[in-house]
Structure 1
Amino acid sequence: MPKELYIGLMSGTSIDGLDACLIDMQSGKPQVIAVDSCKWSDTEAKALHELCQSSNDEIEKEGKACVFIAKKQAFLVNDLISKAKLKNEDIIAVGTHGQTVRHRPKLNFSKQLDLGPLTAALTGIDTVVNFRAADLAAGGDGAPLTPAFHQMMLKNDHRDRYVLNLGGISNLTVIEKSGKVLAGFDCGPANTLLDLCCRELFNKPYDEDAKIASQGKIRQDWLCELLDHPYLKRDFPKSSGREDFNEKTVKKYLNLVKNKEASGADLLATLCEFSVRAVIDEIIKIKQRFTSLDKGDLILCGGGAYNPLIKQRFEEYCLKLDLKVLRSDEVGIHPSYMEAEAFAWFTYMCINGKPIDLTHSTGAKYPTILGCICPASTGRFVKSRIK
């Protein structure tokens, strides 16, 4: 059978780099052919972080960012195809998530910086962008989108499954044994506050292997204040971002550390615990609501899945919840490339005109076809119309 090749690109809320995943859809289910990634340069990362907050001359800054994002995407796509010993014309389409800089579902928009026509021009491959807009138009939050992918890839006939992506923000998908998605929503911060404090206090992009946090102690007074955040009191469906969890959330604690009135290690330890508790508290509520849920698996993916302190704390809490904690590579999906693979699949669904049902997670009123197609001049879309 001829291969049906698609590439998905993902840059998350943490703004640590760009991930790419090449899949083959000939069997009807994604088969990963190759993965690749690249880091944002310090200048690029700084520009993207700044665009997550209001500032002067945002339109100019946004335009420049869209150009360097598209160029970086094209570089990574071309590199991935070369490493896979393929040609660009072998790829049906590329799907790019872009870089989220605003997520305002209550105002009916979510802004991902991207420039699909430039990526298409630099690769010669049809490029799909703006995946969240159709869900928002259907009355959904536009996030999280991945529960539909989690359902297809990770449902289990014998065990309930909780799939937890620990990126900048944590999002949880709950799949019962029947394969039905009971819920999919953002729980709270995963790495975004941790990484922010690492940049501010230790001039590091993140706390590798939780080396700093492991030296600290959880400040229960801070933890209680953090767990009182209004977002955590909302019922699902709900989605979050830096609009809810940002420097204001931790400003008080950062100032105490900078004034040498508290420990930076204690702050990171407390934020690790906050990330875990925000999820555990939601799982407890889910199990109370859906009494059919029994023993199951908590499957961790995203960058936070590699944080040994966070994983340890999940294991300790989940003992009482009859949940076994696994990293997604233990069930066949690379933790760092789960979302890139999902966007490759979304791209396949868009190109083939197949709607995705996210009514159970985003609150959309009906299934939608996600994404907008930017045809390349030598891509499949144009070629299919040449008589």
Structure 2
Amino acid sequence: MPDTSTLYIGLMSGTSLDGVDGVLADFGAGDAITSTLAAAYVPFPDHLRADLMALQAAGPNEIEREALAANALAVHYADCVAQLLHQSGKSAADIRMVGVHGQTIRHRPELGFTRQTNNPALLAELTGINVAADFRSRDVAAGGQGAPLVPAFHRAVFGDDSESRVVVNIGGIANLSILPAGAGQGTTGFDTGPGNALMDGWVLLHQGRPYDANGDWGASGTVHAGLLAQLRDAAFFRLAPPKSSGRDLFNLDWLQAALQRTGEAVAPADVQASLTMLTAGTIADAIIGHAPDARKVYICGGGAENEFLMRLLRQALDGRAEVQSTALLGVAPNRVEALAFAWLARRFDRRLPGNLPAVTGARGLRVLGALYPA
């Protein structure tokens, strides 16, 4: 691998637990992405998705089960890398580094840890490429939340000198980045709450489908005011940033408890409509409360494909801001997070900080990641 290579691969498997998104990007002489050479997606088989979902909560023989799942993940990551190399006509020797997020199975920064299961040593062995991994733990060690990490990347790629923008990533958990006009001073961001995780879990439970395509099932129901009030009463929504969350809080057990407190039966489609409104409403609240002057909101992540969710978000913002896809800024919604981890690998490789203390609450800027050489 030439030291002068500016080609980096980013791999992301998020809280939606659907699969691996990968990109191959050229960074040229600096940290700006000059081109994206390839993009690939490798879905998780049902058994791996079930194994990873089971690891979200305590269970028997966790250490062995996590190790086996990490090995399986590394194989899928390597498959994604192979697809990227094939598409681009590049070889492993052409790539400077792979940046891989791993799969979050616990996120407890209030207890001083976050856990992204992964086997980066195996990934380096399978691909023959340097691997950077474990991007979140250094920020947590410095007193931060370890999340979200994407605002620094959003600032570098989507920031504008003349226009204040908000970028919202709607994966399993939703997070936003507030990008004031200018050189990036005042950039902030935080998790807003559930994104697709509860909606995906509910439709899988009732219809056996991994997600609600276009939000059609949710749109067939009616928002249940009592259930929505119970969901919105979670203390997380009242916390001031910095804050982050995950399936540790927003899971189907949490939803079932809210349903019980509602005190009446709620039709499954109405639950789905209410969950969609919860995501839309809490995102809108965060934008209105923390970026009242922003007139442009750009959406990325799987939620960008949920037409019902996008409609509810526009209604909740009530004309305060225009809601569009990051595709208008030149990056497809399903590529943004993978590109972020290619960017974080580039930052790590140059020993430059990857976090924003104003976002995560860390004591200062930190170089994020650990190296597994090829």
Give the distance between the partners of 1:338 and 1:265, measured in 2 at CA: 30
SS of the residue corresponding to residue 358 of structure 2 reads: coil
Which amino acid in the other structure matches residue 15 of structure 2? T
Matched with 1:241 is: 246
Matched with 1:189 is: 194
Matched with 2:203 is: 198
For each residue in 1:351-377, what CA deviation from the matched residue of structure 2 results, as whole angstroms up to 9, or x when unmatched? 11112341110011111111100011x
Give the distance between the partners of 2:164 and 2:249, measured in 1 at CA: 30
Q: So what's the TM-score if we normalise by structure 1? A: 0.92
Aligned ranges for residues 351-370 of structure 1 at < 5 Å?
351-370=349-368
Give the distance between the partners of 1:256 and 1:280, measured in 2 at CA: 25
Deviation at 1:252, TM superposition (A): 4.4
Deviation at 1:275, TM superposition (A): 0.4
Q: Percentage identity across aligned positions?
A: 36
Q: Does 1:86 align with 2:84?
A: no
Q: So what's the TM-score if we normalise by structure 2? A: 0.95
Deviation at 1:253, TM superposition (A): 6.4
Which amino acid in the other structure matches residue 17 of structure 1? G
Matched with 1:384 is: none
* Between 226-235 and 74-83, the greater mean CA deviation after superposition: 74-83
Matched with 1:227 is: 232
SS of the residue corresponding to residue 212 of structure 1 reads: helix
The number of residue pairs the alignment matches comes to 367
Which amino acid in the other structure matches residue 309 of structure 1? F
RMSD (CA atoms)? 1.7
Give the distance between the partners of 1:295 and 1:370, measured in 2 at CA: 30
Question: Which of 309, 332, 335 is equivalent to 1:334?
Answer: 332
For each residue in 1:17-45, what CA deviation from the matched residue of structure 2 results, as whole angstroms up to 9, or x when unmatched? 10001010114211211110110000110
For each residue in 1:274-318, what CA deviation from the matched residue of structure 2 results, as whole angstroms up to 9, or x when unmatched? 00111111222214xxxxx53421110000011001111122233
The 3 A distance-change label for structure 1 pair 70 and 295 is closer
Which amino acid in the other structure matches residue 8 of structure 1? G
Which amino acid in the other structure matches residue 51 of structure 2? A
Asked whether the 8 Å contact 2:288–2:317 carries over to 1, the reply is no
SS of the residue corresponding to residue 102 of structure 2 reads: strand
Give the distance between the partners of 1:357 and 1:249, measured in 2 at CA: 30
Asked whether the 8 Å contact 1:147–1:181 carries over to 2, the reply is no
For each residue in 1:223-262, what CA deviation from the matched residue of structure 2 results, as whole angstroms up to 9, or x when unmatched? 11111011111100000001110112211466799xx943
Deviation at 1:172, TM superposition (A): 0.7
The 3 A distance-change label for structure 1 pair 354 and 55 is same
For each residue in 1:199-221, what CA deviation from the matched residue of structure 2 results, as whole angstroms up to 9, or x when unmatched? 11111111111111111000011
Unmatched tracts of structure 1, length 5 or more:
288-292, 377-387
Give the distance between the partners of 1:261 and 1:92, measured in 2 at CA: 56
Question: Which of 148, 155, 161 is equivalent to 2:159?
Answer: 155
Asked whether the 8 Å contact 2:52–2:105 carries over to 1, the reply is yes
Matched with 2:70 is: 66
Q: Does 1:213 align with 2:185?
A: no
Q: Which stretches of structure 1, 4 residues or more, deviate above 3 A after TM superposition?
A: 252-257
Deviation at 1:337, TM superposition (A): 1.1
Asked whether the 8 Å contact 1:151–1:181 carries over to 2, the reply is no
Which amino acid in the other structure matches residue 188 of structure 1? G
Matched with 2:16 is: 14
* Between 351-360 and 240-249, the greater mean CA deviation after superposition: 351-360
The 3 A distance-change label for structure 1 pair 48 and 215 is same
SS of the residue corresponding to residue 353 of structure 1 reads: coil
Give the distance between the partners of 2:235 and 2:55, measured in 1 at CA: 24
Give the distance between the partners of 1:76 and 1:35, measured in 2 at CA: 9
Unmatched tracts of structure 2, length 5 or more:
none
Matched with 1:380 is: none
Give the distance between the partners of 1:39 and 1:253, measured in 2 at CA: 31
Asked whether the 8 Å contact 2:230–2:261 carries over to 1, the reply is no
